[in-house]
């Protein structure tokens, strides 16, 4: 399976290492032409405003919308999930608008408020060690969007078809289950 990791800014190396440990051929996506031939792509955490501006600068918004329209699977974590949303509360920053959800940035506080917690995830037998760093919440989701996990009654993991959005950072743990879920359930679903 060939998976790309959007490598404009953020924790892309950690996603690459996790995906390679699962047997994927992984490439760093720095230009729209790098989307060619990918089975799926991961949007990392980082600074969503910066990543959004870089996506506009390099022509990624239309390229990624087209990639998804042709069946491309996307796993977006933290800042990546913000970019996937149709609405960002209090912001008009660039976004893809592919997953019908309203996202609130930094909903769990600042960097010093970061935490890890065991999280019950639909489809996983045991809790996942979710790491929240300046994490957003998915305030609401649209019709057909499946909520896979909540923390403190707030949506933090959701899926619709070939789109998977996470508020937390699974790439910064030693637990490959969410990446495996992406490969087996989201990428292979198409």
Per-residue CA distances from 52 to 109, 177, 181, 190 (Å)? 21, 28, 26, 27
Q: Which of 14, 15, 171, 179 is the catalytic position?
A: 171
Q: Which of 78, 139, 150, 184 is the catalytic position?
A: 78
Backbone angles phi, psi at 5, to 5 degrees: -125, 120
Q: Which of 153, 169, 179, 184 is the catalytic position?
A: 169
Q: Is 171 a catalytic residue?
A: yes
Q: Is 179 a catalytic residue?
A: no
* Nearest C-alpha neighbor of 42 from the set 94, 70, 78: 78
CA torsion 105→111→117→120, rounded to 10°?
Answer: 20
Alpha helix (H) ranges present in the chain?
12-21, 48-58, 60-69, 79-84, 177-181
Q: Is 47 a catalytic residue?
A: no
- Catalytically active residues are 78, 169, 171
């Amino acid at each position: 399976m060939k998976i790309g990791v959007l490598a404009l800014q953020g924790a892309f190396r950690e996603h690459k290492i996790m995906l390679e440990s699962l047997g994927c051929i992984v490439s760093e996506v720095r230009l729209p032409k790098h989307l060619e031939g990918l089975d799926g792509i991961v949007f990392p955490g980082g600074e969503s405003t910066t990543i959004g501006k870089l996506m506009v600068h390099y022509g990624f918004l239309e390229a990624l919308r087209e990639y998804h329209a042709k069946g491309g699977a996307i796993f977006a974590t933290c800042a990546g999930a913000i970019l996937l949303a149709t609405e960002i509360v209090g912001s008009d920053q660039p976004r893809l608008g592919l997953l019908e959800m309203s996202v609130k940035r930094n909903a769990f506080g600042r960097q010093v408020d970061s935490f890890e917690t065991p999280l019950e995830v639909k489809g996983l037998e045991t809790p996942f060690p979710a790491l929240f760093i300046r994490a957003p919440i998915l305030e609401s989701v649209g019709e057909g969007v499946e909520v896979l996990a909540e923390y403190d009654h707030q949506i933090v993991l959701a899926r619709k078809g070939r789109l998977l959005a996470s508020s937390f950072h699974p790439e910064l743990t030693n637990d490959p289950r969410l990446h495996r879920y992406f490969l087996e359930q989201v990428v292979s679903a198409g």
